[in-house]
Amino acid sequence: MSWWLNFCFNADSCKLAKNVTFEYFEAQELPNRKTSLRRLNLILLAIACVFLIWVLQEVGWNVLWGHLRQVGWYWPLLMLPYGVVNWLESVSWKYMLLFGKDSPSLSRLFWLRLGGEALNQLTPTASLGGEPFKAARLHADGVPWETATASVVIHKGILVLSLALYILLGLALAPLYLPAVGEHLWLLGLGALGLTAGGIAFVIAQRRNPCGSGLKLLHRLGYCPPSLKDREEKLNSLDSLLSAYYREHRVRAALAFILFFMSWILHAVEVWVMFWLVGHPIGWGMAICLDALAMLFTALGFFIPAAVGVQEGGNILLALGFNLGMPLGAAFSILRRLREAFWLSLGLIVVGREK
Please work out, in degrees rounded to the nearest 5, the angle formed at the alpha carbon of residue 313 by the alpha carbons of 311 and 318: 95
Strands (DSSP E) along 262-335, which ranges?
none
Over the range 281-312, which residues count as b (16 or more CB within 10 Å of their CB) and which as e? ebeeebbbbbbbbbbbbbbbbbbbbbbbbbbb
Kind plus residue range of the DSSP H or E element containing 94: helix 75-94
Of residues 4 and 250, more confidence is placed in 250
Q: What is the number of structural domains in the chain? A: 1
CA atoms within 13 A on the CB side of 10: 16
pLDDT classification of 11: cutoffs 50, 70, 90: very low
What's the pLDDT at 192? 87
What's the pLDDT at 47? 64
pTM score of the predicted model: 0.80
State what percent of residues in the chain have pLDDT above 70: 76
**Mean pLDDT taken over the chain:** 79
Contacts of 111 (CB under 8 A, 6+ apart): 350
Report the range of poorest mean pLDDT among 35-49, 64-78, 126-140, 248-262: 35-49
Report the range of poorest mean pLDDT among 40-44, 53-57, 189-193: 40-44
Contacts of 258 (CB under 8 A, 6+ apart): none
pLDDT classification of 91: cutoffs 50, 70, 90: very high
pLDDT tens-place string over residues 277-329:
888 899 999 999 999 999 988 887 766 666 666 777 788 888 888 888 888 88
30-39, 184-193, 242-251, 287-296 — most confident range = 287-296
Rounded mean pLDDT of 14-42?
47
Residue type at 135 in one-letter notation: A
pLDDT over threshold 50, residue 29:
no
pLDDT tens-place string over residues 110-154:
999 999 998 888 877 667 778 889 999 998 988 888 889 999 999
17-21, 190-194, 211-215 — most confident range = 190-194
Structure letter (DSSP) for residue 129: T
What's the pLDDT at 269? 94
What's the pLDDT at 10? 44
- Determine the Cα–Cα distance for residues 182 and 177; give it in Å rounded to an integer: 9
What's the gap between Cα 58 and its chain centre? Answer: 30
Contacts of 25 (CB under 8 A, 6+ apart): 3, 34, 38
Structural domain harbouring 176 = 2-353
What's the pLDDT at 315? 81
6-10, 59-63, 223-227 — most confident range = 223-227
What's the pLDDT at 162? 94
- Determine the Cα–Cα distance for residues 183 and 189; give it in Å rounded to an integer: 11
What's the pLDDT at 21? 37
pLDDT classification of 210: cutoffs 50, 70, 90: confident
Report the range of poorest mean pLDDT among 7-11, 197-201, 304-308, 349-353: 7-11
What's the pLDDT at 33? 52
pLDDT tens-place string over residues 258-274:
999 999 999 999 999 98
